Amino acid sequence: MKELTKKCIGLISNTLVQLGQTKTDKDILILASTLAEDLMRDFGNMSWNDVEEAFRSGIRGERFVVNVQTYYIWLRAQKKLIDEDIWKKNNQFTYRPDKRLKYRPRKRTGMKSISNIKHPDIKAMEGIDITIKKLL
**Domain-by-domain residue ranges, the chain?**
2-89
User: Can you give the pTM of this predicted structure?
Assistant: 0.63
Which of 65, 50, 55, 57 shows the shortest CA–CA distance to 20? 65
* pLDDT tens per residue, range 22-51: 999 999 999 999 999 999 998 888 889 999
Tens of pLDDT, residues 94-119 = 555 555 555 555 555 555 444 454 54
Q: Which helix (H) or strand (E) holds 108?
A: none
Please write down the HEC assignment for all residues of 71-96. Answer: HHHHHHHHHHHHHHHHHHHCCCCCCC
